[in-house]
Structures are given as structure tokens and as C-alpha cells.
Copies of this chain bind each other. A is one copy, B any other.
Amino acid sequence: MACSMATRVALYEAGVSASFCEVDPKTKLTLDGQRYLDIHPLGLVPALRTDDDQLITENAAILQYVARRFPDAQLAPSDELGVARLQQWLCFIGTELHKAVFAPLLNPHAADAVKQYSLDKAAARLALLERHLQDREFLLDRFSVADAYLVTVLGWAVVTPIKLADYPALTRYLTALRTRPSVAKALAEEQRLYGLELARHRAA
């Protein structure tokens, strides 16, 4: 259910095989027993290891890498302005939504003042998205990796004080995207894994 779910959606869209390896957020161990901090010193997911053993980190970079590697899936535009618009949305979601609003709200160790500071930023950012999605099915003209990222981030609202119901276009967008096969499959898989993680933590 972390932002790495966006990459899972993109890989399902492309219909390619990939090995997924879960990182326990508490122990920072992968479920096959590696210290994830040896792989990524900040412990952030996702990290993608390519077939030729290159490690790529940072969500926007990985999503665009997947889109370029599997062009048949049409997960990113290729015209000059389309590329700029895709990068604009990926950057907006990563900086203004994910890091500025949601990351502190989801952090159990963040003080109330920190959460309030982030919450104060939410309305203007969600209103901008609400206007953009008013008469659109996707952020761009068709589904792209930016939608894979946005559907993941908006899904976090339910465990924060943010009420998505106040944003009808966003609610409609999220509801519709969750019926898309790649998103539905990724969500079901990650919900199952999240349930197992909670059970593991209870047992520990």
C-alpha cells in the first residue's frame, strides 16, 4: 500500500513479469531476509532492479523507466508537450501531494504540529486536482503512470483527516480507476500483503 504500488500497477498494465519483494516497514528487512538499508540507505520504496542488475530508485524515475521499457503499454506520451505534462503531474504528485501533504500525515512519529502543517496544505492542492479532473477520466488524455501514482496516493486519504468526499471529481476518478483491472489486481494483492504484515506484527 506504499507508493511502490504505482509501479506494481504499471507492471500489471504492461503485462510483464517481475519479482516483487516486500520490505517490512518496521524492521526494514525484506521478507527474504535482506537488510533493505544496504539496498537503499534511506529505506525508501520502491527500488527497481533491472535484468542487467541496475538499481533504480525514486518513484517518478521508476515509473517512467517502466513506461519507456514497455512502450506497447502506452503508459506515457511520447510527444514533446505530452512528456512535459506527464512529468509535471508526476512531480506535482511526488512533491506537493506525497511529500508535502501525505508523508507527514501517515508518519506515526510526526508531532501534531507537523501533521497540522501538512493538513493545511491539502485543500489548495486537492482543489487544483479537483478542477483538473472535473471533466477528465485521466490526468492526461489516456491512462498513464501518473494515474498509477495518483490512485495510490489518493488511496491514503482514508487513514488521514482528509475527506475525499468533499471532492466529487476526485472521488469519481478514484472509484472509476479502482475498477480498472491493473489497479484492482494491485490493490487486492497489496491489501492481502498488508493484512499479513499486520498479523506478523501482532505475533511479534
The verdict on A204 contacting chain B, using a C-beta distance below 8 Å, is: no
How many copies altogether? 2
**Which of the residues B58, B81, B100 comes within 8 Å of A87, measured between beta carbons?**
B58
CB contacts (< 8 Å) of A62 on chain B: these are 84
Residue on B nearest A37 in the bound complex, by CB: B124
CB contacts (< 8 Å) of A103 on chain B: these are 100
CB contacts (< 8 Å) of A90 on chain B: these are 60-61
Q: Does A42 contact B83, Cβ atoms closer than 8 Å? A: no
What is the CA–CA distance of A128 and B96 in the complex, to the nearest angstrom? 23
Q: Does A57 contact B88, Cβ atoms closer than 8 Å? A: yes
Main secondary structure of the interface of A (DSSP, over half): helix
Residue on B nearest A107 in the bound complex, by CB: B117
Please report A residues at the B interface, Cβ cutoff 8 Å.
41-42, 54, 56-62, 64-65, 68-69, 80-81, 83-85, 87-88, 90-92, 94-96, 98-100, 103-104, 110-111, 113-114, 117, 124-125, 127-128, 131
What is the CA–CA distance of A121 and B124 in the complex, to the nearest angstrom? 25
Q: List 23 A-B contacts (CB under 8 A).
A: A41-B128, A41-B131, A42-B124, A42-B125, A54-B81, A54-B84, A56-B84, A56-B88, A58-B91, A58-B92, A58-B95, A60-B60, A60-B87, A61-B85, A64-B87, A68-B80, A69-B80, A91-B91, A104-B117, A110-B117, A113-B113, A114-B114, A114-B117
